[in-house]
Amino acid sequence: MSLNGRYSLGIVLTFVLLAASMLYSIPLINLFFNYKTLTADLFFYNRLSLWLVLVLVLIYNFFLENRSFFVWEEKKYSPLFYLGAVISLYFICLFGGAFLNAIIIFLTQEKPSERLLDLKKLFKNNYFLIIFTCLTAGVIEELLMRAYIQPRIEKIYNSPMLGVIVSSLLFGILHSTYGTIGQVVVPFFIGIVFALFYKKYSNIKILIVCHFLIDFISMMLMNFIDPKHLSLLNL
């Protein structure tokens, strides 16, 4: 199999494993622990399954692709650039996501995600779970969606724009488990912003920090916000 063929297989494998983890890990874990409802422990094990996906992709990369995990070499910048990039990306995603959410709510009268309502109960004053969940999302999703999938799509099709669009679309689809239009459209928008940044600056650490920050602030707000306003959070 050619390198592009191995890259293609790796992309499919990565997306399928991520989707399977998000959709089926909780029912599978319940076969062993028999939780009656979604609990903090069950959700923690669900997040652990995403780390397993990363390990499996790393194994595939090492043994079958036999190439560096990072197709694009990581670039280094000054501390001031790191700070400015994180702040700029955060506010672009915050205001852009809020604007898109407002349009969707106005047009569809969409109600808050039922899953967000369940998560609000789990995260109530559970700061360990909040931090672990945000860390998992930042590290796993950025390493797999941006550092792994995006440059491989670009290389296969020789199209930077296709790499940006497809990786962002897959990123949005993975968030469809929240069950609302807004929770697909906003992640797709954030995916576009992050993918364009990664293409231009080739630094995944900035995206990991920013992703963590977006989720962490949103989840902390869940402790105080009225449930009817949960649809405004860009998780």
How many Å from the N-terminal Cα to the C-terminal Cα in the chain? 38
Read off the pLDDT of each residue in 28-36 and give the average, rounded to a whole number: 81
Of residues 203 and 110, the one with the higher pLDDT is 203
- Give the pLDDT band of residue 38 (cuts 50, 70, 90): confident
- pLDDT value of residue 125: 85
Domain residue limits, the chain: 3-66+95-232
DSSP class of 124:
T
More confident: 149 or 219: 149
d(CA 210, CA 89): 7
When the pLDDT of each residue in the chain is averaged and rounded to a whole number, the result is: 91
- State the average pLDDT over residues 75-81: 97
* pLDDT score for 121: 81
CB 191 within 8 A of CB 71: no
Poorest-pLDDT segment among 17-21, 97-101, 191-195, 209-213 = 97-101
Label residue 59 exposed, middle or buried (CB < 10 Å: 0-12, 13-18, 19+).
exposed
Tell me: pLDDT of 231 over 50: no
- Largest interatomic CA distance in the chain: 54
DSSP string, 141-179: IIIIIIIIIHHHHHHHHT-HHHHHHHHHHHHHHHGGGG-
82 vs 78: CA distance, rounded Å: 6
What pTM does this model have? 0.93
Burial of 27 (0-12, 13-18, 19+ CB in 10 A): exposed
Q: Would you state the pLDDT for residue 226? A: 58
